[in-house]
Amino acid sequence: MSLAAHEARVAHDLACLNLPGGDWTRPRGHAEGHVYDAVIVGGGQSGLGAAFALLRERVSNILVIDENPPGCEGPWDTYARMITLRTPKAITSIDMGVPSLTFRAYWEALHGPEGWAALDKIPRGDWMAYLRWYRRVLDLPVRNDTRLALIEPLTPGLFRLALADGGSLIARKLILATGIQGGGGWHTPPMIADALPREHYAHTSETIDFDALRGRRIAILGAGASAFDNAQHALAAGVAAAHVFVRREALPTVNPIRFMEGAGLIPRFAALGDAEKYAFMASFFDRNQPPTNDTFQRAAAYPGFELHLGSPWLDVAERDGAIAVKTPHGTFDYDFLILSTGLVTDPALRPELARVADRIARWRDRYAPPSGANPLIDAHPYLGQGFQLQPRDPADAPLLHGLFSFNYSALISLGLSAAALSGLKYALPRLGTAVADQLFLDDRDGFIADYLRYDEPEFVGRWERQAEAAE
């Protein structure tokens, strides 16, 4: 089957599901211009999936905005440096139960069933190509090169979105589908930021000129999967040495996500109580996610690779034109540092939330663990069952009504549903229902009044014998 023939199959499947159907929402007006029922911030896999979830709810007065140029949304063509995705190839995500929209169906249209059988994991570039195709075949309304600068509440349930270019949008609902960093910011340890000029280090989330590092020595801090992604990428690009430093005495070997995928924990995590969620995620953070076997072996195969276990960085400093990294096992010199040090989640770190961040409930406001607080968990927003941001003070509920955090900050409240590719198949219906329910309940009086006034005849039959007797 050709891709064109497959796209005809997609169109037929959508027509069979009567998608997109006619909108039921009630139009709003505003002096500043068009009012969208929902604006989705982020045009990556979560944002595109959120748009389709709303279309399935017959909500089409929507817009997706993304700060990147077309085709560069999300991490896949920017800072993601793995060769293949880490998730199993058979996991479905943003197809919303439409078989022809799955990655497998897309891949088989290009490479046939034999090609799918031969595929081990999804290549990163092919996943990005699939996202571009998904956007195109569904004709999703995406505006690129558009960055949200500030969210300004107007009236309860209505927001002005100030854009970086000076423009603005008006929306009833705002969905922050801003990915892994969208709930806070990437973390650079002060020990490094305070000691070194900025040109001597980069976070794995940033653009790195690996060509300029050809023949140089780099050190990578962190045990996460991205540390090894960057090590193999750097070595393939020609760096002379890539040394990974890990605080732990041994690399993690167990990936808890694999258990969660098979045990029903991802779709039903939201049903747990707060104490169970807190304990679960404390364990999740402690376990960490190991590198994939293929990524580790690819990095380890280079003669310039070195793994330093039990080696936290005690100090870094410039010395004789090099960067000296001090560990419990000695001091080593490098030309450049790469930090795989993760992120910090806290709404206060997001500039677009500056007007409302102090009104948003965090986990520390709603739950106190008997075993002691975990600051990493406590700073996460405490979300509703449909990804709604919740108020710290009930009086602020109208201010936040209509704000949805569909990014990594949902991890504690709703598990991996919106924080991992394997969770999107469960998260998207939950989000779509929650947004549509709010739109409906906001206008319930009008819907009920219209129902009570409704008197359009449908039955037009006439019982002839009764009519003759009456004559």
What pLDDT was estimated at residue 452? 96
Q: State the angle between helix axes of 3-16 and 124-138 in degrees (0 to 180), rounded to the nearest 10.
A: 50
Secondary structure element (H or E) that encloses residue 172, with its range: strand 168-176
What is the Cα–Cα distance from 410 to 389, expressed in whole angstroms?
A: 10
What phi and psi, each to the nearest 5 degrees, are found at residue 418? -110, 5
What is the Cα–Cα distance from 230 to 445, expressed in whole angstroms?
A: 55
What is the Cα–Cα distance from 443 to 308, expressed in whole angstroms?
A: 60
The tokens for 432 are: 């779509």
What is the Cα–Cα distance from 243 to 331, expressed in whole angstroms?
A: 13
What pLDDT was estimated at residue 77? 84
Is the Cβ–Cβ distance between 74 and 49 less than 8 Å?
no
DSSP string for 138-163: HT--EE-S--EEEEEE-STT-EEEEE
The tokens for 89 are: 């190839």
What is the Cα–Cα distance from 143 to 343, expressed in whole angstroms?
A: 27
What phi and psi, each to the nearest 5 degrees, are found at residue 389? -70, 135
Is the Cβ–Cβ distance between 390 and 384 less than 8 Å?
yes
What pLDDT was estimated at residue 390? 98
pLDDT tens-digit profile, the chain (471 residues): 799 999 999 999 999 999 988 999 999 989 999 999 999 999 999 999 999 999 999 999 999 999 999 988 888 888 888 999 988 899 899 999 999 999 999 999 999 999 999 999 999 999 999 999 999 999 999 999 999 999 999 999 999 999 999 999 999 999 999 988 888 999 999 999 999 999 999 999 999 999 999 999 999 999 888 999 999 999 999 999 999 999 999 998 888 888 887 778 888 999 999 999 999 999 988 887 788 898 999 999 999 999 999 999 999 999 888 999 999 999 999 999 999 998 899 999 999 999 999 999 999 999 999 988 899 999 999 999 999 999 999 999 999 999 999 999 999 999 987 768 889 999 999 999 999 999 999 999 999 999 999 999 999 888 877 666 666
The answer to whether the peptide bond before residue 20 is cis (omega within 30 degrees of 0) is yes
pTM over 0.85: yes
Distance from chain centroid for Cα 205 = 14
